[in-house]
Amino acid sequence: MLHARIDITQGLDGEPVVLALFDLGDEEIAASAHAVRAVSSERFRTVSMSVDDVLELRELTALADELSDLASRSGVSTVVLRPARLSAYRNALTQFVESRDEAEWMRDEDRLPLAAARELLWPLGDLAAETMRAALEPGSHRCC
């Protein structure tokens, strides 16, 4: 992850809009898309889901689609996420890494995404915490 930053702008209604921006390379984007899709399919296999489960699945599906779209491009891409989606992204990568670490075996297609996802966990955690602070107190955060 390169150039992590927070942008605070003013929305149409005058409320602050907080966005996390960071650059990812091809491998990181592809690994992220793979991890988010794997977690959402593993977590929501059950037939019965609560309303909260449906909303989380919807968020993860949208995130996976966005990452897959970025993966189809070549080179470094800038990812722009609102605090809630950044948190969902970080949680999905954390769940992906933890579930693979706890398993007694691993699928071959998970090996490269696991390494990339593991490297993203620490910087994503820091950025998510900063973004949440900025969202809760937008006037106290200095833009980059």
Q: pLDDT band at 144, cuts 50/70/90?
A: very low
The pair of structure tokens assigned to 140 is 């106290």
The per-residue pLDDT of the chain, averaged, comes to 88
pLDDT tens figures, 2-53: 899 999 988 888 888 999 999 999 999 999 999 999 999 888 887 688 888 8
| Cα–Cα distance for residue pair 115/109, rounded to 1 Å | 11
Residue 138 in this model has a pLDDT that exceeds 80: no
pLDDT tens figures, 79-120: 999 999 999 999 999 999 999 988 888 888 998 999 999 999
For residues 121 and 94, the answer to whether their CB atoms sit within 8 Å is yes
